[in-house]
Structure 1
Amino acid sequence: MSYQFLKPYTFENGMTIKNRIVIPPMTEASSLENGAISNDELAYFRLHTGGAGMFIAPVANVTENGKGFEGELSIADDKFLPGLIKLAETLKHNGTKAILQIFHAGRMSNSKILRGNATVSASAVAALRPNAETPKELSEAEIEHIIAAFGEATRRAIQAGFDGIELHGANTYLMQQFFSPHSNRRTDKWGGSVEKRMNFALEIIKTVQKAAEKYATQPFTIGYRISPEEIEEPGIRLADTLKFIDVLAKQPINYLHLSMGYAWRTSLNDKSDSEPIVKKVLQQLNGRLPLISVGLVETPDDAEKLMNAGVDFVAIGRESLREPQWVQKVIAGQEAAIRYTVAESDFEELGINLAFQDFLGLLNADLHIVGSSQSKDEFDKKMGGVEGGV
């Protein structure tokens, strides 16, 4: 069968992607303590790359105080370049484009992870989660320093050989914290109105674009990942996000990545609205930016359904953990051989080490693990961040 998702795509910057399947950034918590790439990670990526058109590597922090969890990759210093070069080379197998997601965790960290240092955010407002620490409000100078750090991270990504970077503006991390009225209570140019709450992200986009223009010698792709809603009050609502998307569509970025645990999810806050969020986003974009959609896409039919709706790229998250050869088997007409279940004994073969298992809760979660009794609802509650970029 001829699938739309197997067709190539060329961005406006001239970069051609061999197909429309994307591996989304799924943290494996396996970097070394200082943020350097580990051999375990390289082995995992070597097993899982080569089929998809783009492989978005798990998130890397741009500053030391931007670390969000143990085992997290870092791009905060030139000392990490040798390992990042190895990562880019590993991902770029068989024509797959290597994209590196970069971020600052902001208040979604803690002083233990930061080795005694306080978390920071747009405002001194704690996240609504158990044991959340109240972050320090960033000063103007500190904000400018973080923005510059995104530019330096982009420079390092280019020097390491990545084909692009993805700005992690989703999953409640710092870029989203500046956009959110819950975490951003500022009254200066960085907060207040919905337009001012966009400024942090827009300045980062401007800075990384300048870095790309200065250092890249071939087409370099810049993506932006966004979460459409928050349940906090006050919090981000769909109307805010659609306004933001309208502005993002005019920025020097190459794609938008919609972060959701289920690709066809409807509004969390307006239960009377039955239209999938992905359709609202496509309507707002109106073809101005290509869109990546993610969330419980498993079968070729699942991916094709999203393509038929107008999505440009489909991200295969959890299923890519179970079946690293998903794309290759579709191309070869071997769909009947695609693996949709795994056993715990398969983890070593799949490169899923113990740190990865512990981080994702795979040993007891229903990742279609043979013999698991956990319900889908229990699984989704526990694993909701996996394809969202943890």
Structure 2
Amino acid sequence: MTTAFDPIDLSGTQLGNRIAMAPMTRSRAFGEGLTVTDSTVEYYGQRASAGLIITEGIQPSVLGQGYPNTPGLHSDEQIVAWRKVTDAVHAKGGKIFAQIMHAGRIGHPVLWPDQELVSVAPSAVAAAGQLYTQEGPKDFIAPRELSAAEIPAVIGEFVDASRNAIEAGFDGVELHGANGYLIHQFLADNTNLRTDEWGGSVQNRIRFAVEVTKAVAEAIGAERTGLRVSPGNLYNDIAETDPEATYPALVKELEPLGLGYLHVVEMVPGFREVTLALRKQFSGTFILNPATEGPTDHGALGLIEDGIADILAFGALFLANPDLPARLKAEGPYNTPDTASFFGGDDKGYIDYPAL
């Protein structure tokens, strides 16, 4: 019987176990030009016993930034800074993918050097709610609808950032198509109101995700390319009326590419049937960030044994337990995450969680 502690071949990348660190925004890119710091090097290095680390969301361009102090991969300085992280993880025998995340309409001009800029999205639909910035909470503003002529350049930003990730020493990249960011905004019918070839029907709404993934796979190799999706996720004011149709159609288009993996996030209870359908459809490595993240119940580690997932991704549990694989194997104890230090701040709640 396969367990979470068995090794796995991730399309040529050998992982020591099947426990992944899920991507988590920490808003601690305090270096000049939104570069990661020595604390970030320590943070990821502490967690190198993960079979796979997937980094926090990294913006592929200035306009792709959605939150304060999030890191980029669009400048030479950022590449050099990330190289220190990948070197630290590799020195401890770990593997690490960069998550490329364009926030789309989730963002605010206060984040960008030129505050005359406006966020971009498939349609000019503002998200409900507010963004918490260093100047306090700001209402989300209506984005500018991308023209069809502009979309190839945005796809190019994902490609450039992915090439930069490989230059920085990452083992691969994960494209963030979940949680209400740009790729997800094209997939969802409440944020994509277009009537051209990039919107309307399911086939048109999946086009952007497919074209970004194809372009990145061609640039760096499909085996080093993963995609994260979150069917039915309501986060960031997303509403999908047809996830049961959208995501199988998306996976059908991606299946022939031979991607490194598909990463499914179960943010909404009751969507396990969609997960199972995608699992059956996708022949490559299937990573699952389950709705139940408890470490010892059947809904977590048992998902590997049942064959529902090849790799399990843990978020807050990994944040608070840098040696999570060892703790899972020993069945605890577990540190409790300090929610107050999740986003921003100093090293407290970042690199000071004790190992066993």
Q: TM-score, normalised by structure 1?
A: 0.77
Deviation of 1:178 (Å): 1.1
Give the superposed CA RMSD.
2.8
What is the alpha-carbon distance in structure 1 between the residues aligned to residue 318 and residue 202 of structure 2? Answer: 37
Q: Which 10-residue stretch deviates more, 122-131 or 177-186?
A: 122-131
1:221 maps to which of 209, 215, 224 = 224
Partners of 2:316 and 2:337 within 8 A in 1: no
Match of 1:38 in 2: 37
What is the alpha-carbon distance in structure 1 between the residues aligned to residue 84 and residue 122 of structure 2? Answer: 34
Distance 1:96 1:135, change over 3 A: same
Deviation of 1:259 (Å): 1.6
SS in 1 for 2:40: helix
Distance 1:222 1:142, change over 3 A: same
Deviation of 1:52 (Å): 1.1
Q: Note if 1:289 corresponds to 2:295.
A: no
1:132 maps to which of 136, 140, 153 = 140
Match of 2:107 in 1: 109
Deviation of 1:141 (Å): 3.4
Deviation of 1:305 (Å): 1.1
Q: Percent identity?
A: 29
- 1:94-105 matches, cutoff 5 A: 94-105=92-103
Residues 293-342 of structure 1 show CA distances to partners (whole Å, capped at 9, x for unaligned) of 114423245542111332100112111122212213455xx435x32436
Partners of 2:64 and 2:104 within 8 A in 1: yes
Match of 2:135 in 1: none
Partners of 1:298 and 1:316 within 8 A in 2: no
- 1:313-332 matches, cutoff 5 A: 313-330=311-328
Alignment: residue pair count: 333
The letter for the 2-side match of 1:60 is: I
SS in 2 for 1:56: strand
Residues 93-138 of structure 1 show CA distances to partners (whole Å, capped at 9, x for unaligned) of 4322110000211001112223412111011111233522110011
- 1:243-322 matches, cutoff 5 A: 243-261=249-267, 265-267=269-271, 276-285=273-282, 288-295=283-290, 296-302=292-298, 303-310=300-307, 311-322=309-320
SS in 2 for 1:249: helix
Distance 1:344 1:164, change over 3 A: closer
What is the alpha-carbon distance in structure 1 between the residues aligned to residue 63 and residue 347 of structure 2? Answer: 23
Residues 190-213 of structure 1 show CA distances to partners (whole Å, capped at 9, x for unaligned) of 122111111111111121122214
Distance 1:236 1:111, change over 3 A: farther
Deviation of 1:3 (Å): 6.6
What is the alpha-carbon distance in structure 1 between the residues aligned to residue 111 and residue 96 of structure 2? Answer: 28
SS in 2 for 1:112: helix
Where does structure 2 lack aligned partners over 5 or more consecutive residues?
Answer: 131-138, 351-356
Residues 207-253 of structure 1 show CA distances to partners (whole Å, capped at 9, x for unaligned) of 1122214xxxxx95211000101455564522222222222223341
Partners of 1:228 and 1:236 within 8 A in 2: no
The letter for the 1-side match of 2:42 is: A
Partners of 2:232 and 2:240 within 8 A in 1: no
Q: Note if 1:119 corresponds to 2:110.
A: no
The letter for the 2-side match of 1:307 is: I
Q: TM-score, normalised by structure 2?
A: 0.84
Q: Which 10-residue stretch deviates more, 74-83 or 55-64?
A: 74-83
